[in-house]
């Protein structure tokens, strides 16, 4: 018998296969560049067929974005799970600040070599940048739905708020990553990242008073 917290054997095997394929792909991408690696080469390195590879990853870009899949609807989950009497913005602000403390890669404040290499691959590959824009749009849709369901906001207000909130989070993360590329360490950047995040969420709070 399986539980929501413990997937069954079949699902665990699928997860291992998915991870093995993604690992093989990213190793090749980092070594030779995204555009210079074929799907056939990835399948061979992962010891699966091309058909199996596409069953797990419909596009080549998904092999990379898979690493961040859990984050696509993260903002929506935070809003839905927030404590009573806590506004969506407060919950999202606290969550982002906690991510900075934990050096969560999605905040851009992680200078581990493997994380940095993968992030540089994404920012340096037009096809992956385009795919991340779709990832971002999915997060906006999920957050808008969560805001509609958990506040008195209208459909329009929820959609506009989601675009602004996700946009600010992405801008903060991008700025953090770029500062690391310029030579700062994650620890050295931390206090500035916190100040900028607090400032950004203050600006959102002033403009999104309807959600309070």
Confidence of residue 8 (pLDDT cuts 50, 70, 90): confident
pLDDT greater than 90 at residue 29:
yes
Return the percentage of the chain with pLDDT > 90, whole number.
87
The strand ranges marked E within the chain are none
Average pLDDT, the chain: 93
Provide the whole-model pTM: 0.87
The dihedral sign for the CA sequence 200, 162, 133, 70: positive
Confidence of residue 212 (pLDDT cuts 50, 70, 90): low
Tell me the average pLDDT across 117-137. Answer: 94
pLDDT greater than 60 at residue 2:
no
pLDDT of the residue at 208 = 64
pLDDT greater than 50 at residue 186:
yes
pLDDT greater than 70 at residue 211:
no
In sequence order, the β-bridge partners of residue 3 are 6
pLDDT of the residue at 66 = 87
- Local structure of residue 123 (DSSP, 8 states): H
Sequence-distant (6+) residues with CB within 8 A of 142 are 72, 73, 75, 76
CA angle, 99 as apex, 70 and 17 as ends, to 5°?
A: 30
Task: Tell me the per-residue pLDDT of 146-164, one tens digit each, with 9 for 90 and over.
Answer: 999 999 999 999 999 999 9
Q: HSE on the CB side for 69, CA within 13 Å?
A: 12
Task: Tell me the per-residue pLDDT of 66-109, one tens digit each, with 9 for 90 and over.
Answer: 888 889 999 999 999 999 999 999 999 999 999 999 999 999 99
Return the percentage of the chain with pLDDT > 70, whole number.
94
Confidence of residue 195 (pLDDT cuts 50, 70, 90): very high
161: exposed, middle or buried (Cβ count in 10 Å: 0-12, 13-18, 19+): buried
Q: Could you give the CA distance from residue 34 to residue 63 in angstroms, rounded to a whole number?
A: 10
Confidence of residue 1 (pLDDT cuts 50, 70, 90): very low
């Amino acid at each position: 018998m399986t539980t929501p917290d413990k997937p069954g054997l079949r699902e665990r095997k699928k997860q291992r296969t998915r991870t093995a394929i993604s690992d093989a792909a990213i190793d090749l991408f980092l070594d030779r560049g995204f555009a210079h690696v074929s799907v056939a080469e990835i399948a061979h390195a992962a010891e699966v067929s091309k058909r199996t590879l596409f069953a797990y990853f419909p596009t080549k870009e998904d092999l990379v974005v898979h690493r961040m899949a859990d984050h696509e609807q993260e903002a929506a989950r935070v809003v839905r799970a927030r404590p009573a009497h806590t506004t969506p913005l407060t919950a999202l602000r606290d969550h982002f600040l906690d991510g900075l403390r934990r050096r969560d890669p999605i905040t851009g404040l992680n200078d581990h070599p493997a994380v940095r290499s993968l992030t540089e691959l994404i920012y340096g590959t037009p096809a992956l940048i385009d795919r991340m824009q779709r990832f971002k749009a999915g997060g906006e849709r999920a957050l808008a739905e969560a805001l509609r369901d958990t506040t008195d906001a209208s459909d329009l207000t929820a959609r506009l708020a989601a675009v602004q909130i996700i946009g600010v989070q992405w801008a903060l993360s991008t700025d953090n990553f770029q500062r690391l590329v310029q030579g700062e360490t994650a620890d050295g950047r931390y206090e500035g990242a916190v100040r900028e995040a607090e400032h950004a969420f203050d600006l959102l709070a002033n403009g999104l008073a309807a959600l309070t």
